[in-house]
């Protein structure tokens, strides 16, 4: 076998391989000899089928299988001997003319093919013991607990009907019957009866709730609205509609008394138990926010300390995924690049930079995990699937079957677990310093990012 490296350009490698016909023939004969003792043919005792007859029957298919296996093993040998880590699947170019293929399979010609790959560059890992990481920590105050419980109380508040003639105000709940039309024609799903609408909840079509302000029981109004361009129904998205709406009841919210009885209505023994539960939940939320801040800072440090040229094909693939998502989001929202004070070209350049960062960080995390034998166990995957299933009560079996029958979904579940384990490994080596911060400071970065 002869192997010639024909291309070595950046991260691109290409090889021309030639395998003598005699080598292929020898492997085919060996496979046929092995088959001889297993195949059963009428008129022949087991193991007594003449080699020539066996070759006439199975020679071509065995030769094709032999060539496929030979290419795989040869490619693996080439990459292993040269210590090449592949970024992409090998692109194999084989003879295509029928006579060439037939000559190779019949042992009359050498097998000649080329294989092109893109490789991952060698990555020199930083000294993680030199990393200094600040860990923001916020304590849960009594005020935080009270505020959390008040939000729960507001979400569970009751309403009392107002007196006849009383007009609806923001925060009130109006029970309505409505019939919607587009260009005078009723549409599917546009009719409702005894539908409660809380003014200011922003749960209905934009503009619908606001037009109920001032309405009284028994009053009928025509509400004019426009469905959002990203509305779930494509037939309604972006359409202007009118809803003939009658208020059957106007109700005012009643402040919930936060006491033991309220706690019991939520399934807890007392107000003290409710406060304990609220505090535990907030502690977990603060810890999650701390984790995200630390992880983001650590990834920034990895980005700063690991600069190298990432495989272009991986960057292109990541960019395409991101860009398709951006285009779909903009199409559904009706926004343009001008609305974002940018241009399509500038946005593409920015997202390509993000794609490059993501690919490099992915390769760095993979290198760290590989060199330090970090892996995700089957038990960890199973626990993750169970958590997903528990988050969807009543559909546990459906979720379990989905992941069991979908390797790609399992891989997506494995990736964040692996990333977190690598992050934890680095944090064990790094110098981590806790810093007390307020709740506002803990969430400030996320708030600014969301804005």
Domain ranges of the chain: 2-118, 158-254, 274-450
The distance of Cα 261 from the centroid of its chain, to the nearest Å, equals: 42
User: What pLDDT was estimated at residue 268?
Assistant: 95
pTM score of the predicted model: 0.74
Q: Is the separation of the CB atoms in 419 and 365 below 8 Å?
A: yes
Choosing among 1.25.40.10, 3.30.70.1050, 3.40.1210.10, 1.20.1740.10, the CATH entry for 2-118 is 3.30.70.1050
Span 158-254 CATH architecture:
Roll (3.10)
d(CA 304, CA 38): 61
Strand spans (E) along 199-347:
220-226, 240-254
Enter the tokens of residue 53. Answer: 């007859």
Burial class from Cβ neighbours inside 10 Å (0-12, 13-18, 19+) for residue 143 reads exposed
Residue 306: its H or E element: none
Question: Buried b vs exposed e over 317-341: b needs ≥16 C-beta within 10 Å?
Answer: ebbeebbeeeeeebeeeeeeeeeee
Write the CA distances from 350 to 74, 127, 272, 353, 355, integer angstroms: 41, 30, 51, 5, 9
Per-residue model confidence (pLDDT) at position 57? 67
DSSP-derived letter for residue 360 is H
The Cα–Cα gap between 5 and 227 comes to 61
What confidence score (pLDDT) does residue 451 get? 39
The two structure tokens encoding residue 422? 């690598």
State the pLDDT at residue 447: 46
- 353, 323 in Cβ contact below 8 A? no
> Residues with Cβ < 8 Å from 366, sequence gap 6 or more?
none
250 vs 235: CA distance, rounded Å: 32
Residues in the chain: 451
Q: What is the DSSP annotation of 10-24?
A: TTEEEEEEEE-HHHH
Task: Answer for the pair 278, 264: CB distance below 8 angstroms, yes or no.
Answer: no
- pLDDT per residue of the chain (451 residues) written in tens, 0 to 9: 899 999 999 999 999 999 999 888 888 878 777 666 666 665 565 655 666 656 666 667 888 888 888 999 999 999 999 999 999 899 999 988 888 888 888 888 899 999 999 999 999 999 999 999 999 999 999 999 999 999 999 888 899 999 999 999 999 999 999 999 999 999 998 999 999 999 999 999 999 999 999 999 999 999 999 998 778 787 898 899 999 999 999 999 998 999 999 999 999 999 999 999 999 999 999 999 999 999 999 999 999 999 999 999 999 999 999 999 998 888 777 778 888 889 999 999 999 999 999 999 999 999 999 999 999 999 999 999 999 888 888 888 898 889 988 988 888 899 999 999 999 999 999 999 999 999 999 998 654 554 3
Q: What is the pLDDT of residue 48?
A: 59
Tokens (6 digits) for 337: 């690049």
Would you identify the CATH topology of the domain 274-450?
Trigger factor, domain 2 (1.10.3120)
């Amino acid at each position: 076998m002869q192997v010639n490296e024909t291309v070595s350009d950046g991260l691109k490698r290409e090889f021309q391989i030639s395998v003598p016909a005699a080598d292929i023939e020898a492997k085919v004969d060996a496979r046929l000899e092995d088959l001889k003792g297993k195949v059963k043919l009428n008129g022949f005792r087991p193991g007594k089928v003449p080699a020539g007859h066996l070759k006439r029957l199975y020679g071509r298919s065995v030769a094709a299988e032999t060539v496929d296996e030979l290419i795989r093993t040869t490619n693996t040998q080439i990459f292993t001997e040269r210590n090449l880590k592949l970024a992409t699947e090998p692109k194999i170019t084989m003879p295509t003319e029928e006579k060439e293929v037939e000559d190779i399979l019949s042992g009359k010609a050498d097998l000649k093919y080329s294989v092109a790959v893109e490789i991952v560059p060698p990555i020199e890992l930083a000294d993680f013991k030199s990393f200094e990481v600040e860990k923001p920590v916020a304590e849960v105050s009594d005020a935080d607990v009270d505020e959390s419980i008040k939000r729960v109380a507001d979400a569970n508040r009751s309403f009392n009907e107002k007196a006849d003639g009383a007009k609806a105000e923001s925060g009130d709940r109006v029970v309505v019957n409505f019939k919607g039309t587009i260009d005078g024609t009723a549409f599917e799903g546009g009719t409702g009866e005894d539908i409660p609408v809380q003014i200011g909840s922003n749960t209905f079509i934009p503009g619908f709730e606001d037009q109920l302000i001032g309405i009284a029981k028994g009053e009928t109004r025509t509400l004019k609205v426009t469905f959002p361009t990203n509305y779930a129904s494509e037939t309604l998205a972006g359409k202007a509609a009118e809803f003939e709406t009658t208020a059957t009841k106007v109700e005012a919210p009643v402040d919930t008394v936060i006491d033991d009885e309220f706690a019991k209505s939520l399934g807890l023994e007392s107000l003290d138990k409710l406060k304990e539960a609220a505090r535990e939940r907030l502690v977990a939320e603060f810890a999650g926010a701390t984790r995200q801040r630390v992880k983001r800072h650590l990834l920034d440090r990895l980005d700063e300390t690991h600069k190298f040229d990432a495989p272009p094909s991986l960057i292109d693939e990541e960019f395409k995924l991101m860009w398709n998502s951006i285009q779909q989001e903009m199409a559904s929202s009706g926004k343009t690049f001008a609305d974002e004070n940018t241009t399509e070209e500038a946005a593409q350049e920015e997202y390509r930079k993000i794609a490059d960062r993501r690919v490099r960080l992915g390769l760095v995390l993979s290198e760290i995990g590989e060199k330090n034998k970090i892996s995700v166990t089957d038990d960890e995957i199973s626990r993750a699937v169970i958590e997903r299933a528990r988050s969807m009560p009543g559909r546990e079996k459906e979720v379990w079957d989905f992941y069991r029958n979908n390797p790609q979904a399992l891989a997506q579940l494995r990736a964040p677990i692996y990333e977190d384990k690598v992050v934890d490994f680095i944090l064990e080596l790094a110098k981590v310093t806790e810093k007390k911060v307020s709740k506002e400071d803990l969430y400030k970065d996320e708030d600014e990012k969301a804005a």
